[in-house]
């Protein structure tokens, strides 16, 4: 089974801090994704990556950056945390970006609170 | 562009009732379609998928048929249980995409009462 591990289930940070959310997958997947999930808004894609050091902006990249130095790890960075970034963050991975029938595999999420 | 539209929730049913959650899509290419489920406190799990027109995906008593003529992929279950209470997401991957992105609907909250 694919395992996608997010480093923290719960995280509390202060406004203005630089925050790192880490995600690791164990199946050599090429694709990795970061979403945020908010009530009434569903999943919104922040950034995704289709290869090491390659990244693409999703629908709401403002205030975030990402890093993918190794294939198994995809980090989400809040450059200067703000209260409106309080949310549930979900990481996912997927095998091959060029195949249509591969599903995404999700981690359990990090609930981030910015005070 | 690609997009997915799901019926808005919440949906509240009694145990053993019939469930339908509507999903329609817009795609520039020829997509694969997915249903995911999210139980409380967890990430999303793949529930079922269909990769071509008229395919029926099924799992755990749930099923959905890929209807190209109506661009739909409605989720159904004949008799829901309390344990089916969760959020359900419809998603698509466009075969023309080389970047691997999936597009999701906003999710439908289902609550089943005993």
| Distance in angstroms (rounded) separating the CA atoms of residues A50 and A28 | 12
Q: Is A60 on the interface with B (CB under 8 A)?
A: no
Q: Is A31 on the interface with B (CB under 8 A)?
A: yes
Contact state of A109 with B32 under an 8 Å Cβ cutoff: no
Q: Output the six-digit token pair for B41.
A: 């406190």
A2 vs B87, more confident: B87
Average per-residue pLDDT in chain A? 93
Which residues are CB-contacts of A84 (< 8 A; sequence separation ≥ 6)?
Answer: none
Q: Where are the beta strands (DSSP E) in chain B?
A: 3-6, 11-14, 19-21, 23-26, 31-38, 44-50, 56-59, 62-65, 75-77, 86-94, 103-104, 108-113
* Distance in Å, alpha carbon of A81 to nearest chain B alpha carbon: 23
Contact state of B49 with A101 under an 8 Å Cβ cutoff: yes
Question: Which burial class, exposed, middle or buried, applies to A22 when counting CB atoms under 10 A from its CB (0-12, 13-18, 19+)?
Answer: middle
Which of A24-28, A97-101, B8-12, B77-81 is predicted with the least confidence, judged by mean pLDDT? A97-101
pLDDT band at A33 (very low <50, low <70, confident <90, very high): very high
* Distance in Å, alpha carbon of B95 to nearest chain A alpha carbon: 5
Residue B28 pLDDT: 81
**Radius of gyration in angstroms for the set of CA atoms belonging to chain B, rounded to a whole number:** 14
Q: Residue A1 above 80 pLDDT? A: no
pLDDT band at A96 (very low <50, low <70, confident <90, very high): confident
Report how far apart, in Å, the C-alpha atoms of B31 and of each of B21, B56, B102 are.
19, 14, 10
Q: Comparing C-alpha atoms, which of B72, B69, B2, B9 is closest to residue B35?
A: B72
pLDDT band at A2 (very low <50, low <70, confident <90, very high): confident
Exposure on the CB side of residue A87, measured as CA atoms within 13 A:
21
| Distance in angstroms (rounded) separating the CA atoms of residues A18 and A67 | 14
Contact state of B99 with A96 under an 8 Å Cβ cutoff: no
DSSP string over A41-97: TEEEEEEEEEETTEEEE-S--TTEEEEEEETTEEEEEESS--GGG-EEEEEEEES-T
pLDDT tens digits along A37-82: 998 888 999 999 988 989 999 999 999 999 999 999 999 999 999 9
Question: Going by DSSP bridges, is the β-strand pair B62-65/B75-77 parallel, antiparallel, or unpaired?
Answer: antiparallel
Q: Is A48 on the interface with B (CB under 8 A)?
A: yes
A85 vs B96, more confident: A85
Per-residue pLDDT 10s for chain B (114 aa) are 889 999 888 999 999 999 999 999 998 878 999 999 999 988 999 999 999 999 999 999 999 999 999 999 999 999 999 999 999 999 998 877 777 788 999 999 999 999
């Amino acid at each position: 089974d694919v395992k996608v591990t997010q480093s923290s289930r719960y995280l509390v940070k202060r406004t203005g801090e630089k925050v790192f959310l880490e995600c690791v997958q164990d199946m050599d997947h090429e694709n990795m994704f970061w979403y945020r999930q908010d009530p009434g808004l569903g999943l919104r894609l922040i950034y995704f990556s289709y290869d090491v050091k390659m990244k693409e902006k999703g629908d709401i990249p403002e205030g975030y950056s990402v890093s993918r130095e190794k294939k198994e790890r995809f980090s989400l960075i809040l450059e200067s945390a703000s209260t409106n970034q309080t949310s549930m963050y979900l990481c996912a991975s997927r095998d091959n970006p060029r195949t249509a029938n591969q599903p995404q595999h999700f981690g359990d999420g990090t609930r981030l609170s910015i005070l | 562009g690609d997009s997915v539209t799901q019926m808005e929730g919440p949906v509240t049913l009694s145990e053993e009732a019939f469930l339908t959650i509507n999903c329609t899509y817009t795609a520039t290419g020829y997509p694969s379609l997915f249903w995911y489920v999210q139980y409380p406190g967890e990430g999303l799990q793949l529930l079922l998928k269909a990769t071509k027109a008229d395919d029926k995906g099924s799992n755990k008593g749930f099923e959905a048929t890929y209807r190209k003529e109506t661009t739909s992929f409605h989720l159904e279950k004949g008799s829901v249980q309390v344990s089916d209470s969760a959020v359900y997401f419809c998603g698509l991957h466009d075969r023309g995409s080389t970047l691997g992105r999936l597009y999701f609907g906003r999710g439908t909250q289902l609550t089943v009462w005993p």
